[in-house]
Amino acid sequence: MKPTIRDVAKMAGVSISTVSRVMNTPESVIESKRVRVQQAIEQLQYQPNSFARGLIYRKSFTLGLLIPDIENMYYAGIIRGMQDACIKLGYSLMICNTDRDKNRLLAYIDAFHEKQVDGIVFASDVIFPEYYEKLMSCKIPFVLISSHSDEYEVPSVEIDDEKAAYDAVKFLIELGHRDIGMIGFNHENSISGPPRYQGFLRALHEAGLDHNAEKIRCAAHRFEHAYDAAHELFTDYPELTAVFCVADEFAMGVISYLKDRNILVPGQVSVVGFDNLRMANMFIPKLTTISQPMYEMGYRAAEKLHELVTTGSTQVLREKLEHKLIVRESSRQR
């Protein structure tokens, strides 16, 4: 049987309230007793019961994290950052993988509600009205990560997707490329898809390269889809000498396709990715890409959620973190 506060009190020869005080406001207890209590706690390996505490504080000191796809390496960095912040702030973390399934996500919100998590961070997903309503009716605070909401006042942390895409495409243009394609996210349900396409367009326009505007094909998150999308893209536009991909995984799919077609990267076609996954540096060729600060985003999201949970609001609502272009081997001067 796990020892209770009573066992500690008995062993130390004090009342249970004194034990409680030693744990919560130690300075209010006279040294002699405090020491005795601490020894008893030590000896019994006593740990307060978190259910009892939760019942009183109405807090679980647990945060929830909802991610769309645990097999996507993008989230690993976010998880690490968030977990480190949670340790610092005294929270436990509950990670749930929705597999991009709406019902599953809704079920997880229920589970979070039942477990009374103090707050939730939502990764990458669009906030559908259903989610929003549910969260509001449960009164669970939440923040968005690599996502944001235009309709609702929801705190978020992300990068500037439009600018990041712009930077990537501009880089390709500066390399001398004139025929540039893009592999984007399927637009429905994608929050970062549209702004990245806008960035592509802006860079093109600025350089008088608008004729590339329609040279985009979309893929659904995975390598294989990007492979297929690349096939469509190059079938329709064989003149392409560069392609901008909105995810490193897409870049790998494209390069894989090109490889199968015996087209050299970067010899004949330059490819730039997005995210800077750990894999970007392991792939052959190493990927030129836009680096997202996944770790910091996870960390900041947790801090922001903490702020929201404790103060009821956040200083800045929509927060943008810095991205960076990393030039490696998959791109080359035209």
Supply the DSSP symbol for 14: S
Closest to 175 (Cα-Cα) out of 199, 219, 209, 215: 209
Strands (E), 173-284: 180-185, 216-219, 242-245, 270-275
Find the binder of its own copies among 47, 103, 235, 333 (CB under 8 A).
Answer: 47
User: In sequence order, what are the residues at sequence separation of 6 or more whose Cβ sits closer than 8 angstroms to the Cβ of residue 242?
Assistant: 172, 175, 177, 179, 180, 181, 269, 270, 271, 272, 331, 334
Nearest distance, CB of residue 48 and DNA, angstroms = 4
User: In sequence order, what are the residues at sequence separation of 6 or more whose Cβ sits closer than 8 angstroms to the Cβ of residue 134?
Assistant: 106, 109
Give the binding range for DNA (CB under 7 A) out of 44-52, 154-162, 246-254, 308-316: 44-52
Residue 21 interacts, among DNA, its own copies, none and using kind-specific CB cut-offs from 5 to 8 Å, with DNA
Asked if 17 is part of the footprint of DNA (rule: CB under 7 A), the reply reads yes
Asked if 187 is part of the footprint of its own copies (rule: CB under 8 A), the reply reads no
Is 2 or 282 the residue whose CB approaches DNA more closely?
A: 2
Closest to 15 (Cα-Cα) out of 35, 32, 37: 37
Residue 17 interacts, among DNA, its own copies, none and using kind-specific CB cut-offs from 5 to 8 Å, with DNA
Give the separation between CA 320 and CA 159, rounded to whole angstroms.
5
Give the separation between CA 118 and CA 142, rounded to whole angstroms.
9
- Write each residue from 95 to 134 as x if it is in contact with its own copies (CB under 8 A), else as -, in one continuous string: xxx-x-------x--xx-xxxx------------------
Asked if 24 is part of the footprint of DNA (rule: CB under 7 A), the reply reads yes
Asked if 126 is part of the footprint of DNA (rule: CB under 7 A), the reply reads no
Q: Site residues (CB under 8 A) for its own copies?
A: 45, 47-52, 54-55, 60, 62, 70-71, 73, 76-77, 79-80, 83, 87, 92-97, 99, 107, 110-111, 113-116, 137, 223, 249, 252-253, 255-256, 259, 278-279, 281-284
